[in-house]
A and B are shown apart, each in its own frame.
Chain A
C-alpha cells in the first residue's frame, strides 16, 4: 500500500557558527554543519525512525522541521504547505498541526503550572476551547494518555518520570496535530515504564492516525515502532530503508557496526561485536571523502573512500545507502 507523504524534507541544511575563543577574540572557528543536506518523506500514519549517536544532528533535524530553529536551506512541507516560507499567523496556524515531545519531561514542563494549566494553555493559545470546555477536554486528554483525571491538580514534581512523559504527550496532542516529532521520548525512562509509553504511542498513532518522526539513539526501541529508518552520521543520512530490510541486512558499515554494538539481553547470543575504533569526528572538521572512513571497518575500504564522498543512492528499490560498497555489505 502506498501513502501520500504528509511530511517532506528536501536538502535540509543547518549550520551553526563555530565557537570563538574567550571573549570572542581571535578568528572564528569553522562553521559546524549540524545538518548537511538531509532529505526524507514520511507517509501519513507512518513512523520514520531517525537514529544516530550524540551530535549526529538528529535533534536538529526535528527542531528545524518545526521551525523551532531556522533552517539555512532546504524545503520542508507538511501536507503540501511550505513550512519554511510561512510567517506570523500562518506559521502559528500550521504549528497547531505539528507538535513535539521532548526527552526530559521534567525540563519541558513548567514546574509552577499544574497539569491542568499546562494542558489548557495550548487550547487557549490556539483558541480551540472556551475555559469551561477546556476543563472537559483536559480530562479527556488525561484519560487518553492513561492518567487519572485527578492528576490535573498535580504539579510536575509530584509525578513520576513516566507520568510526566504522559503529560508531555497529552500536551502535544491537545491541539490535535497530525504530525509529532518524538525526540528521544523514552530514553529517560525505566525499562518497564518505557514499554508502557511505547505502547501508548503506538495506540495513539493507530487511533488518531498520527504521523511520527521518532528520534532515538536506541536501535532496539526504534525497531519496535518505526516503519522506515534513517541512520545519521555527522549531519548526513548514511542509510535509509524500510525497517524490516534495514534490520535484516544493513547496507552501510556504520549501520552494521551500530547494530552489532547494541547489547542483547541473551548471554548465549553468539554475536560478533564490531567495536569501532576512535570517536565521532567534530562536525566542524569532518574528514575528507566519506565522513565515516576513519572509523570504517569495511574490508574493502580504499583510497576512493578517503577522497570521494559517497552520495546517498538507491541500492535496491526503496533502500538507500551512502557507501561506495553498498552492493557488497559487510
Chain B
C-alpha cells in the first residue's frame, strides 16, 4: 500500500475555558491517515472536534486559550508539522496544504478584489510577479467555472453571490496546486442546487490536479457521494472509520448507526417515511466533562456496565483487511448483545 500523505497520531487539542469550568478536551487522542489522491470524509455533529482537528493540522489554533498537547504527532510529507519552525510552516500553509471554510464571506477580505486575494498565495509561495500572478488568478477563475473571469478578477467579494464566493475560495486554495485540500463544510451555507455545482467542481478538480481532499461535514449525504473513506467523530474522538461503502452498508458503532437512521431521506417512499424518525436521545455532552468510560454510553441503546467504566479502544472489525474498518465500541467483543437487543 502507498505511504500516507498525512499521518495524524494521538492528536490532543485542549482549550482552557474562561470561567474556570475546566479544560475543554475538544480533540482528545485522534489518529487517522490521508492517502495521496483520496477523499477522506470526516463526519460528526457540532462540538465533536472535527473543525478543531483540521485547524490543528495547519496549527491555526489560537494559543492561548488552546494548545496542542505534547505527544501529539502530525506528519505531512515526512515532516512533523507540530515541530516545524514558523518559516517552514508558512511554506506548507496555503502551498502544500490549503484550506477552504464554510462561510466564504467571512474568509474573504472585503476591501481587496478577489483577483488580488487569489494571486497573493502565488506571489508569496511561487514568487510570481504581480502581472503573472494576476494572469494565474484569471486562469484559476476560469478553472473554477466563473463566467467572465477577466472582468470578475477585479470585483470585490460583496459583488458576488455565495456560490461564486465559494468558487473564489477554491480558486484561492488551489492556485499553488496543494497536495492536500482541507475543506471544512464547504457547501453547508449554500443552496442545494449550488451545493451540487460545488461538489461536482471539487470532484473534477481533484481528478485533474490529483490532490487529496479532507472533507469535513455533518452531512452524511455529502460524504456518501464524495468520500472514499470516512472517519466518524464523537466527543473529541474517532469512533469509527471505514471505506465509505462499507460504513454505509455495515455501520458498527451505535452512534454511526443512530446518525444514519436519524437522517430524513429522499430515497424512501412517502408512505414509509411518514411517522416517527429515529432519533438519538439526549445531546452531545460538554467538552469539559466527557462521560467516563465510553463517551457515547449515556445515549447508547446497547450500553451495559462495562461501557460506563472502561473506555473502549479502536477495535478492528472482523470483516475485510485488518485496520480498514475500526470501531471504538465494546460490542465488537460481545456481538451477541447487539442481536439480543434487536
Interface string of A202-238 (1 = CB under 8 A from B): 1000000000000001111101100000000000000
Contact in complex: B266, A261 (CB < 8 Å): no
16 A-B pairs with CB atoms under 8 Å apart are A53-B192, A53-B193, A160-B284, A163-B283, A191-B220, A192-B280, A193-B45, A223-B264, A262-B266, A263-B222, A264-B265, A265-B265, A266-B248, A266-B267, A279-B194, A280-B191
Q: Are B263 and A220 in contact (CB under 8 A)?
A: yes
- The complex places the Cα of A221 from the Cα of B263 at a distance, in Å, of 9
Neighbouring A residues of B283 by C-beta, 8 Å: 160, 162-163, 192-193
Residues of A within 8 A of B (CB): 53-54, 160-163, 190-196, 198-199, 202, 217-221, 223-224, 243-244, 247-248, 257-259, 261-269, 273, 275-276, 279-280
CB distance from B103 to the nearest CB of A (A): 14
Q: Which residues of chain A have C-beta atoms less than 8 A from B340's C-beta?
A: none
B-side residues, CB < 8 A to A, are 45-46, 161-164, 191-197, 199-200, 218-225, 244-245, 248-249, 258-260, 262-267, 269-271, 273-281, 283-284
Q: Decide: B161 and A267 in contact? CB cutoff 8 A.
A: no
Q: Is the CB of B260 within 8 A of A195?
A: no
CA distance A49 to B270 in the complex (A): 14
Q: Are A199 and B279 in contact (CB under 8 A)?
A: yes
* A246 CA / B331 CA spacing, docked (Å): 42
Residue of A nearest to B189 (CB): A54
Residues of chain A lying within 8 A (CB to CB) of residue B223: 265
6 more A-B contacts (CB under 8 A) besides A162-B283, A217-B192? A191-B45, A194-B264, A263-B222, A265-B220, A267-B224, A279-B164
Instruction: Select A261's contact among B192, B224, B278, beta carbons within 8 Å.
Output: B192
Q: Which residues of B are found within 8 Å of A275, using beta-carbon distances?
A: 193, 196-197, 200
Given contacts A259-B266, A265-B260, contact A190 B192 (CB under 8 A): no
B249 contacts across to A, CB distance below 8 A: 268
6 closest Cβ pairs, A-B complex = A263-B221, A195-B279, A192-B280, A190-B45, A53-B191, A261-B196
Cα–Cα, bound, A258→B194 (Å) = 10
User: Looking at the complex, which one of A163, A190, A223, A273 makes contact with B266 (CB distance below 8 Å)?
Assistant: A223
Q: Chain A interface mostly helix, strand, loop or mixed?
A: helix
Q: Kindly list chain B residues whose C-beta atoms are within 8 Å of the C-beta of A221.
A: 264
CA distance A268 to B46 in the complex (A): 27
Report A-chain residues with C-beta under 8 Å of the C-beta of B245: 267-268
Are A261 and B193 closer than 8 Å at their CB atoms?
A: yes
Q: Are A257 and B224 in contact (CB under 8 A)?
A: no
Would A276 and B278 count as touching, CB distance under 8 A? Answer: no
Cα distance, A195 to B279, chains bound together (Å): 5
A273's nearest neighbour on chain B, judged by CB, is B196
Query: Which B residues lie within 8 Å of A161 (CB)?
Result: 46
Cα–Cα, bound, A263→B43 (Å)? 15
With A262-B192, A264-B225, A265-B248 as known contacts, state yes or no: A244 contacts B277, CB within 8 Å. Answer: no
Contact of B279 with A276 in the complex, beta carbons under 8 Å: no
B240 to chain A, nearest CB (A): 15
In contact, B263 and A258 (Cβ under 8 angstroms): no
CB-based nearest A residue for B196: A261
Complex Cα spacing A276 to B194, Å: 8
Task: Give, as a whole number of angstroms, the nearest-CB distance from A220 to chain B.
Answer: 4
Tell me if A195 and B262 are in contact (CB < 8 A): yes
B339 to chain A, nearest CB (A): 24
- From A260, which residue of chain B is reached at the shortest CB distance? B196
Q: How far is the CB of B156 from chain A (nearest CB, A)?
A: 14
Please state if A194 and B262 are interface contacts (CB–CB under 8 Å).
Answer: yes
Once bound together, how far apart are the Cα atoms of A262 and B191, in whole Å?
10
Q: Which of B162, B245, B267, B278 has the most CB of A within 10 A?
A: B267
**CB-based contact A192/B279 at 8 Å:** yes
**Least Cβ–Cβ distance between B64 and chain A, in angstroms:** 22
CB distance A267 to B45 under 8 Å?
Answer: no
Which residues of the other chain, A, contact B277 by a CB distance below 8 angstroms?
195, 198-199, 224
Q: What distance in Å separates the Cβ of A275 from its nearest Cβ neighbour in chain B? A: 5
A contact residues around B262 at 8 Å (CB): 191-192, 194-195
Q: How far is the CB of B50 from chain A (nearest CB, A)?
A: 12
Chain B residues within an 8 Å CB radius of A259:
266
A244 touches B271 (CB 8 A): yes
User: Which residue of the partner chain, among A195, A247, A265, contacts B224 with CB atoms under 8 Å?
Assistant: A265
Q: How far is the CB of B232 from chain A (nearest CB, A)?
A: 12
Q: Which residue in chain A gives the minimum CB-CB distance to B267?
A: A264
Q: How far is the CB of A84 from chain B (nearest CB, A)?
A: 31
Q: Which residue of B lies closest to A186 (CB)?
A: B264
Which residue in chain B gives the minimum CB-CB distance to A259? B266
B18 → chain A, closest Cβ, in Å?
Answer: 13
Contacts of A243 in B (CB 8 A): 270
Q: Is the beta-carbon distance between B276 and A199 smaller than 8 angstroms?
A: yes
